Each structure stands twice: as structure tokens, then as C-alpha cells.
Amino acid sequence: FNINAGIVRNLVAGCAEACPKACILVISNPVNSTVPIAAEILKQKGVYDPRKLFGVTTLDVCRARTFVAEAKGFDPLKTTVPVVGGHAGTTILPLFSQDKAGAKIPAEQIPDLDAKVQNAGTVVVEKKAGKGSATLSMAFAGARLARVVLAGLSGVETTECAYVESTITDLPYFASKVTFGPEGVKTVHPLGDLSAHEKTRLDAMMPTLKEEIQAGLDYAAVNEFAA
């Protein structure tokens, strides 16, 4: 935690000095905590704009749509499963019910598929025997969100899930569908209709996400970057 937190802190402080209006995509884990750290550093520098700071959760979306497409024989490029909440463990909440193919998966199969999305990163690490992680797929995910942000900046509004400052729940940061426009975040979309499983999972994971957000805020509070 401290290593990545320190890296994010230093890089964001540099951005605040050199390019204070830049869009910043945070991909360093734990994203649930590093995005709040980045926000606090930008606030300390007096240049925070919530429209221009985003946590990359795109890999969760890619995994969810791929697993659903494999299960139902669909094209993953035509499958869209929103993944909300956060970007670690149980805070990763795929909304299978909001995808045409995902909605057809029997309810009794959803918990296992849900867990598969949550644990996919761990599976990769185990397969590599601790010698690496999901490096290439994470690079793909980062590039995908970067293209979405660039499209928005160029005037082509585009929607993708991202972890941003949010008011759609009681927590200050939350991943959900976000529409990007010329100024960065244009619209943070509400969660929409949830299945019974998704409602239960949402309630269960909120305390964990709250703790991880607070961990980032606590780190930033004792590691201030003087203006």
C-alpha cells in the first residue's frame, strides 16, 4: 500500500505543478484508496477538479463481459456488463442483470460468476506462481479507458465505467457508468435497477469500500504535499 500510495502521491503532485488541468487516470492499486489520495493531493495544491480524476476499473468490465459472453455463446464485443462499486475483491460488483446476455443466466449461477469476476486477478497471479500479474490485460484496460476519455475530450461523448467522485451512494467515491465529454466527466450515472443478488451484494460491500476510501484519506492527511 505505502509504495503505490507514495508513487501516486508524487506523480499527482508533479501533475498539479506541470499540467494542473490534465485528466488523470489512476491505475495503481489499490484504486479504491489511491484515487482519494490523488484527490487530496490535488486539493492541497489548489487544482482539484473532480471531472478530471478517474480510477481505471475497466479490466473488471472486460472480464465480466468476457465471462458472460463465454457462458452464453455471445460476442464479448457486443456484451456490456456494468461493473460498479470499487476495484478490489468484494467491492467489485458486476451488474449482470443489466446486460441482455447476462440477464439470461440462471439466478443460481450468478454467485459463482460474480466471484469469478472478483477473483480473476488472483487467479492470474497464482497461474504465474507469484512472478507477475495481469499485466497485459491491465494495459489493455488502461488504453481502453484512455481512448474513451480522449473521445470525450474531442467532443464525442462516450460512456464507460470508472471510479470517480460520486453522489449516487453515501460514499464519496464509487465506480459506475460515466459519460465523458470535453471537460472530462460529464455525467455520473445512477446504478439503475438491480437484481435481488446485486442489492444484497451492494449492501454487503459498502462498509469495505468505505474503509478503503478512508485508508486513502488517512494516508493523504499524514503525507501532505506542501504547496
What is the DSSP code (8-state) at residue 27?
A: -
Q: Is 87 a catalytic residue?
A: yes
- What is the Cα–Cα distance from 32 to 112, expressed in whole angstroms? 23
Q: Which among 87, 177, 201, 210 is annotated as catalytic?
A: 87
Exposure string for 117-144, b = 16+ CB within 10 A, e = fewer: bbebbeebeeeeeeeeebeebbeebeeb
β-strand pairing of 83-85 with 53-55: unpaired
Residues taking part in catalysis: 87
